[in-house]
Amino acid sequence: MKLLIATYGTEGDARPFAALCRGLIDAGHEARLLADAATLGSAHALGVPATALAGDIRGMLRPDHAIAGVVAKGGGFNETARALAKIANDNAQSWMRTIVEAGEGCDAILVAGLAAFVGLSAAEYLGAKGIGSGMIPLTPTAAFPSAFLPPRWVPRMLNRASHGLVNGMLWKAFRDKTNAARAMFGLPPRTAVWKDHPMLYGVSPSLLSAPADWPANAHLCGQWLAPSPAWTPPPDLAHFLAAGEAPVYIGFGSMTGFDNARLLAALIEAMRGRRALFYPGWSGIDPKALPENFFVVGDTPHDWLLPRTAAVIHHGGSGTSHSATRAGVPSIVTPFAGDQFFWAERLRQAGVAPAAVDGRKPSAKAFASALDFAAGETVRSRARALGETMRAENGVANAVATLERIVALDVREGV
């Protein structure tokens, strides 16, 4: 089986697909990952063949660009969709060419993120099976609202309708440039978003049970993680961890554009008397502004580091939400945009996180209260139990087996 995976987003978006590619290769299949050049570090480290898609996601997330402005101003779904669509629309034709070239001879093309619509178009042109995927549930259901809308905005009776609304608005934002890319290869224009293709989700059923009203072609596989390599911490990190009680990990991944000074001041005040590990990520926060109780870490394997912490303060991205929960520690979520509010609510419902701290109006009082919640023995015990359940899952193996069934069925039906 020969597969191509095409995605476009942040490093956290690309990392799970690198793990899935590795799993496919280890199972005897061919796999290649296409993503932004700045997000292919995991693929290179895992020995996964990779090709860069045009664009500069890290540059587009700088404070002087539109997406960061949407985050800073607390923009709603419309503003966020337009900002994201600009990246895909500016690169649609280039992505189409790259995916078609790399996908020649593939049995299936797995697509995700901003490259999804162009990727499905490329699969159509090549006669390959087009399969959607992601770390966010997109398949309509009455069980919960669209992950792109803050849960409190949607009355329960409108849950299913919210998915159709959001998916339709996304298609509208991407439609014209997607159809222009299709025209380059003689494909007819599409008037509606894709609905009937299989969907694979790198989402844990421990955090999100598969809704009873999902169709049979929607598959919840579990988190996609690569096998953990042997890793030895730098001596200064090992010394910090051994020098006192378990610290609180603070990291906001690829998020940029928020009020760094206000957030940092609130965290520093709330963390007085507590030990902290701080990961700057793409935030632009200057580590020199941190007090002595903060230890700055670089890229560090979450599966090694997070179990050694007391709690994780993060932005609520799907990957970090899963990794913190898998580590068996409570979360304190500070969402800014997109699906982060959705995951904040899932963690709260699971009882391993308090109500989210507003990322646009952070306060030391709110963080201090959240830290007290996370320190409760009932919460810690619940987090440990949930982590144990998640660690028993094998999302990559489930996804590989599901892809094998989908491609085998497609081959049989095509004969």
Return the domain boundaries, the chain.
2-223+394-414, 235-391
Residue 411: pLDDT band with limits 50, 70, 90? low
Q: Where are the alpha helices (DSSP H) in 222-317?
A: 235-242, 260-270, 302-305
Number of C-beta neighbours around residue 314 at 10 A: 30
- Checking if the pLDDT of 258 tops 60, the result is no
Torsion of CA 312, 316, 317, 318, to 10 degrees: 90
Homologous superfamily of 235-391: Glycogen Phosphorylase B; (3.40.50.2000)
* Angle, in degrees to the nearest 10, between helices 340-349 and 318-326: 20
3-state class of 103 per DSSP?
Answer: coil
pLDDT 10s digits, 355-378: 999 888 889 999 999 999 999 999
Q: What are phi and psi of 144, to 5 degrees?
A: -155, 160
Smallest CA-to-CA distance from 321 within 307, 310, 309, 332 is with 332
Of the options 3.40.50.2000, 3.40.50.300, 3.40.190.10, 3.40.50.2300, the CATH number for the domain spanning 2-223+394-414: 3.40.50.2000
Whether 235-391 and 2-223+394-414 are alike in CATH topology: the answer is yes
pLDDT 10s digits, 139-194: 999 999 999 988 888 899 999 999 999 999 889 999 999 999 999 999 999 999 99
Smallest CA-to-CA distance from 360 within 336, 331, 332 is with 336
- Look up tokens 């169709």; give the residue: 215
- Under the phi-then-psi rule, with left for phi > 0, alpha for psi from -120 to 50, and beta for the rest, what region is 222? left
Name the percent of the chain in helix, strand, coil, to the closest 5: 50, 10, 40
Residue 62: pLDDT band with limits 50, 70, 90? low
